[in-house]
Structure 1
Amino acid sequence: MKLEPLTYQSVEARPVLVPLRRPIISKVGAFDQWPLILIDLHTREGIVGRSYLEPYLKQAAKYIVPAIRDLAASRAGARLAPLDDFQDARRSLHLLGYEGVTMIAIAGLDMAAWDALGKAAGLPLAALLGGTVGKVQAYNSNGLWLSGVDGLAEEASALVAEGAFSALKLRLGRERLQDDLDAIRAVRAAAGDELQLMVDFNQGLSFDDGLRRCHALDDERLYWFEEPLAYNNTSGHAQLAREIRTPIQLGENFYGPRELLKALQAGACDCVMLDLMRIGGVSGWLRSAPIASAAGIPVSTHLYPEVCAHLMRITETAHWLEWQDWAYPVLKEPFALADGQLVVPDKAGSGIEWDESAVKQFQYD
């Protein structure tokens, strides 16, 4: 099979604001709607690569969309080569810095480019990268926020039932330790003692509080403590990792491969979870996951379950996929769930296509 080259022509980036079935209530904010930026990368050959970004804040689209358009305009007429483009784009942004809007824009275009290449080859992204399609073990991250403890048991039962899940994520960091303990026990009572329960503090604890809280919860058989402290408190997380038996999970705020390497060198975490928007899209993942795998560190995902599911199929130390349905309102055909696993479909590219009627409904300026 000869793979015909693809050429950048133009990009369309559309912000949408979609409803959430369960409002987010966390240390980083409260949301009942979720912003997405939908990216359509048009090639001269007629193939369109698609991806989306999750910028957290509605107003962030005002800064990210122009950056995407500028990067795409600079590549007009060039051949699609996402690994080369990743390096070139990073070099071109030395003076602006690697974190924030610059990396997010690079990542959005990168994911769309890989989708286009998969479509051109007639292969799912996982197969294009040398793997196969199939199932990926997942935990349900669609709820169990910092709401009242009274409703957690019913919600936990519903979350398990959504896909026969054996693992859920619970957010912690309430004002009183006892409230966190009550939340853990309410979820276990409803979902079963064999439930794998990941907990996320969303960077909500100071170092001293984090030290006390994690020690106090260390006997609760929790699967991991995710970001107890501010994401850039590497030394603090390293101390927690040394003192706490429960694994420390970091990574959703790593901007590029070197930040992951620094965290591992510092002993700041026992496992990592990569966010495609920040790690640098598919190309950033391909440069980052092998660093963790070579060190024997388990690799999980943060957001973007559709594209991440393909990448987990080719990651040596693939661990858990974080499943949310937050982008489902604008997807033509969401991926299927089976026995607590997300099923990667045998479709060319990443498998993302838009429901244009829904896009029109939720789009904003």
Structure 2
Amino acid sequence: MSCAALTVRSITARPVVLRLKRPVVARIATITEWPLILIDILTEEGIVGRSYLEPYIVKSMRYLVPALNDLDALFRGRKVAPIELFDAARKSLHFVGYEGLSMIAASGLDMAAWDALAKAANLPLCVMLGGSIGKVKCYNSNGLWLKNPGALAEESLELRDEGGFAGLKLRLGRERAADDLAALDCVRKAVGEDMHLMVDFNQGLDLAEALQRCHMIDDHGLAWIEEPIVYDNLDGYARLAAELKTPLQIGENFYGPREMHKALQKQACDLVMPDFMRIGGVTGWMRAAAIAGAAGIPVSTHLYPEVAAHMMRVTETAHWLEWQDWADPILKTPYQLKDGFLHIPDVPGIGLEWNEKAVQARLV
């Protein structure tokens, strides 16, 4: 493998806003518009590394785009060495802390840097990291929000058939526990016993509610129960994990691999699902995956299905990929789904190319 040396010429960050086909309706928020920040690292050698961030809230882009512009000024003329750039980005923001927006900005830069490096090697990212092109098992997370339970049966069949999925995620956390149970029953009857069902409370419960509600669904044959309480209450998660038979899933709010280590040390979960913009991009994922692998903990992904597919091919305890197509409208060639698997394209890098006409129509 020959990998050309690359030098950063510029870093650009462009904010776009997409309209969600199925709005996010969770106990803690309703989201109809989905923000993306498109990141391009242009190198002196002509290779462009690409990534995007999904910061949930449109107004958060007011802070993240300037942070990425500051990194542009910091890294012009430097070699594209992703691990070094990642560490330098974090250290440059040390005095405002390693979590939150600092980590998110560094993560976006990191993913684009790895994309550029893999393109320079003329290899798909997963191949450059020692894996191979292939398919990745995924579940559909595009819907089943807090709707009326009676409306979920039809939607669950639509979601199943979008890609021949064998797994679906259902959101819980309605005001009445009985309505959550009704929603679960409606979906299960519609899709059958062979469907893997994951449920997500989106941090909507306090510990007392979680103890009651999680026990109520503990015999429903679920693949996991996800984030019933606020993400940083690791002591509460440890209590839930000790009491429940159903695997407990957390991790999308781990800001860096050390936070995963803390959670596993406290036995706060049975499964982990890092988010690329919080765990530290590709660099942070590799470090976190090693921790989970050493502990024998299955690792799933959160958002970012394109880079996630590559990383699952090189993750020791790879479990499920979360499929969401929310970025597809601005991608030139979205990844292909078939029979519940996401197929990595045999192209250099991550495989992200922008549909510039669609981007221009959605810039803010």
What is the TM-score normalised by the length of structure 2?
0.99
CA displacement at 1:27 relative to structure 2: 2.0
Q: Give me the whole-angstrom Cα distance separating, in 2, the residues matched to 1:28 and 1:13.
A: 29
Checking the alignment, whether the CA contact within 8 Å between 1:72 and 1:109 is kept in structure 2 is: no
What corresponds to 1:313 in structure 2?
A: 313
Checking the alignment, whether the CA contact within 8 Å between 2:12 and 2:72 is kept in structure 1 is: no
CA displacement at 1:91 relative to structure 2: 2.6
Q: Give me the whole-angstrom Cα distance separating, in 2, the residues matched to 1:294 and 1:250.
A: 18
For residues 344-363 of structure 1, what are the structure 2 equivalents within 5 Å?
A: 344-363=344-363
Can you give the 5+ residue segments of structure 1 that lack an aligned partner in the other structure? none
Deviation sequence 1:112-148 (CA, Å, 0-9, x none): 0011111111100000111011100000000000111
For residue 83 of structure 2, give the secondary structure of its aligned residue in structure 1.
helix
For residues 116-265 of structure 1, what are the structure 2 equivalents within 5 Å?
A: 116-265=116-265
CA displacement at 1:11 relative to structure 2: 1.1
CA displacement at 1:355 relative to structure 2: 0.3
For residue 169 of structure 2, give the secondary structure of its aligned residue in structure 1.
strand
Deviation sequence 1:140-173 (CA, Å, 0-9, x none): 0000001111110000000000000010000001
Deviation sequence 1:62-104 (CA, Å, 0-9, x none): 1000111111211110101111222222233221101111000
For the pair 1:21 / 2:21, whether they are aligned, the reply is yes
Checking the alignment, whether the CA contact within 8 Å between 1:169 and 1:197 is kept in structure 2 is: yes
What corresponds to 2:277 in structure 1?
A: 277
Checking the alignment, whether the CA contact within 8 Å between 2:22 and 2:142 is kept in structure 1 is: yes
For residues 2-13 of structure 1, what are the structure 2 equivalents within 5 Å?
A: 2-13=2-13
What corresponds to 2:62 in structure 1?
A: 62
For residue 103 of structure 1, give the secondary structure of its aligned residue in structure 2.
helix
Q: Give me the whole-angstrom Cα distance separating, in 2, the residues matched to 1:284 and 1:259.
A: 11
Q: Give me the whole-angstrom Cα distance separating, in 2, the residues matched to 1:180 and 1:2.
A: 55
For residue 252 of structure 2, give the secondary structure of its aligned residue in structure 1.
coil
Checking the alignment, whether the CA contact within 8 Å between 2:86 and 2:109 is kept in structure 1 is: no
Q: Give me the whole-angstrom Cα distance separating, in 2, the residues matched to 1:73 and 1:286.
A: 27
Checking the alignment, whether the CA contact within 8 Å between 1:139 and 1:169 is kept in structure 2 is: yes
Percent of counterpart pairs with the same letter? 60
CA displacement at 1:204 relative to structure 2: 0.2
What corresponds to 2:47 in structure 1?
A: 47
Runs ≥4 in structure 1, deviation > 6 angstroms? Answer: none
Q: What is the one-letter code of the residue matched to 2:64?
A: I
Checking the alignment, whether the CA contact within 8 Å between 2:35 and 2:54 is kept in structure 1 is: yes
Checking the alignment, whether the CA contact within 8 Å between 1:36 and 1:55 is kept in structure 2 is: yes
Q: Give me the whole-angstrom Cα distance separating, in 1, the residues matched to 2:191 and 2:52.
A: 32
Q: Give me the whole-angstrom Cα distance separating, in 2, the residues matched to 1:49 and 1:167.
A: 32
Q: Give me the whole-angstrom Cα distance separating, in 2, the residues matched to 1:93 and 1:27.
A: 33
Q: Give me the whole-angstrom Cα distance separating, in 1, the residues matched to 2:290 and 2:112.
A: 22
What corresponds to 1:114 in structure 2?
A: 114
For the pair 1:289 / 2:298, whether they are aligned, the reply is no
Q: Give me the whole-angstrom Cα distance separating, in 1, the residues matched to 2:320 and 2:251.
A: 13
Checking the alignment, whether the CA contact within 8 Å between 1:337 and 1:343 is kept in structure 2 is: yes
CA displacement at 1:12 relative to structure 2: 1.2
For residue 204 of structure 1, give the secondary structure of its aligned residue in structure 2.
coil
For residue 95 of structure 1, give the secondary structure of its aligned residue in structure 2.
helix
Q: Give me the whole-angstrom Cα distance separating, in 2, the residues matched to 1:310 and 1:195.
A: 25
What corresponds to 1:83 in structure 2?
A: 83
State how many pairs are aligned. 364
| Structural RMSD (CA) | 0.8
Q: What is the one-letter code of the residue matched to 2:123?
A: L
Checking the alignment, whether the CA contact within 8 Å between 2:103 and 2:278 is kept in structure 1 is: yes
Q: Give me the whole-angstrom Cα distance separating, in 1, the residues matched to 2:28 and 2:125.
A: 33
Q: Give me the whole-angstrom Cα distance separating, in 2, the residues matched to 1:225 and 1:188.
A: 15
